[in-house]
């Protein structure tokens, strides 16, 4: 039986999306390993600088034309969201929070991506969608409070900010990828961000440690090469081909993959309440994704 072209396109988007999520899933464990010896600013900003160097080489080899200046504000949104916002805020959070804990909080990423996509694409979510969004957000905040000391801490707010930044950067990057291509979008975002990154790094006056363990270096290079560079090739391609809200569902797998990776790589314990909250958050996000969304 011949497959419908629309369905085939969605499957291609899902495959690319899964490859991207697979690369993103070890970001928090790798960041956690990196910040044991490296300052969060070095990890958050340094990973983008390393990726920017790789991006520049690839753009020059492929002789890609510079985007028109009118697209610079839109690239600025991507830079603020996924080049600076998420890496820096998540690195700050991983200084005091476990990666498995952060995995549950980032369970809101699919919903944040959908919300940003709805906003940028001028779609109209149904009441069911907003109900799921409120319930899911409440569960995540409750988990943060229960797992903390009865109150939210700095790491929680950093993670919430990272989620909001990533959702917006994902949606805007997906729209740009429809015009420029997936790998071109993240490469130009990285290259254009270099002056801002250097200013932040120099203004922070952070000192480089005299001793850095091998595990910290491995974590740093993972987030630089895979999380900040290669994974975005597949992720933006998947969002552009299969749709922001639809392919964003693949992110439902990310918290579970991150929790598993944290247990294997960092030896973090898998507590029952972490798994329970993770499942509950995933159910809410999945229901929200199924809710009707009308185009404006």
41-66 tens-digit pLDDT: 999 999 999 999 999 999 999 999 99
CB 59 within 8 A of CB 191: yes
SS3 294: strand
CB proximity list for 126: less than 8 A, separation 6 or greater: 291, 292, 293, 294
Flag whether pLDDT at 260 surpasses 50: yes
Q: What is the mean pLDDT of residues 227-256?
A: 86
CB 236 within 8 A of CB 182: yes
Q: What is the mean pLDDT of residues 243-250?
A: 78
> What was the pLDDT predicted at 1?
43
What would you report as the CA-atom Rg of the chain, rounded to the nearest whole angstrom?
18
SS3 114: helix
> What is the Cα 74 distance to its own chain's centre?
18
127: tokens are: 């009441």
Domain of residue 58: give its range: 5-295
Q: Please, what is the average pLDDT of the chain?
A: 86
Where residue 267 falls (left for φ over 0; alpha for ψ -120 to 50; beta otherwise) is: left
Percentage of the chain beyond pLDDT 70 is: 94
Backbone angles phi and psi of 177, in degrees to 5: -65, -25
pLDDT tens for 4-52 read: 455 677 788 889 999 999 999 999 999 999 999 999 999 999 999 999 9
CB 139 within 8 A of CB 148: no
Supply the DSSP symbol for 123: E
pTM, two decimals, is: 0.85
pLDDT band at 2 (very low <50, low <70, confident <90, very high): very low
**How many whole angstroms separate alpha carbon 225 and alpha carbon 48?**
9
pLDDT tens for 93-129 read: 998 888 888 888 887 888 888 788 777 766 677 788 7
Element (H, E) at 269: none
Q: How many domains does the chain have?
A: 1
Higher pLDDT, 160 or 286: 160
pLDDT tens for 132-169 read: 878 888 888 788 777 766 677 888 899 999 999 999 99
Which residue spans within the chain are E strands per DSSP? 123-125, 293-295
């Amino acid at each position: 039986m011949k497959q419908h072209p629309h369905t085939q396109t969605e499957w291609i988007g899902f495959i690319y999306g899964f490859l991207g999520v697979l690369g993103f899933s070890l970001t928090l464990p790798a960041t956690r390993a990196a910040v044991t010896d490296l300052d969060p600013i070095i990890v958050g900003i340094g990973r983008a600088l390393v990726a920017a160097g790789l991006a520049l080489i690839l753009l020059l080899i492929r002789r890609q034309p510079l985007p028109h200046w009118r697209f610079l504000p839109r690239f600025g949104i991507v830079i603020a969201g996924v080049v600076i916002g998420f890496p820096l805020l998540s690195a700050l959070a991983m200084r005091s929070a476990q990666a498995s804990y952060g995995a549950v909080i980032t369970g809101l990423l699919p919903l944040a991506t959908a919300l940003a996509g709805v906003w940028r694409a001028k779609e109209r979510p149904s009441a069911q969608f907003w109900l799921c969004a409120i319930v899911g957000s409440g569960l995540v905040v409750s988990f943060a409070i229960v797992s903390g000391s009865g109150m939210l801490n700095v790491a929680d707010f950093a993670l919430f900010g990272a989620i909001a930044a990533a959702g917006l950067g994902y949606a805007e990057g997906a729209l740009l990828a429809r015009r420029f291509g997936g790998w071109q979008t993240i490469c130009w975002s990285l290259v254009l961000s270099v002056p801002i990154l250097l200013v932040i790094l120099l203004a922070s006056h952070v000192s480089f440690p005299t001793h850095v363990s091998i595990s910290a270096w491995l974590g740093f290079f993972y987030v630089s090469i895979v999380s900040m560079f290669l994974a975005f090739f597949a992720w933006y391609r998947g969002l552009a081909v299969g749709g922001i809200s639809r392919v964003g569902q693949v992110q439902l797998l990310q918290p579970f993959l991150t929790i598993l990776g944290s247990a294997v790589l960092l030896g973090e314990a898998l507590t029952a309440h972490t798994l329970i909250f993770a499942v509950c958050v995933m159910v809410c996000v999945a229901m929200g994704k199924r809710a009707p969304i009308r185009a404006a």
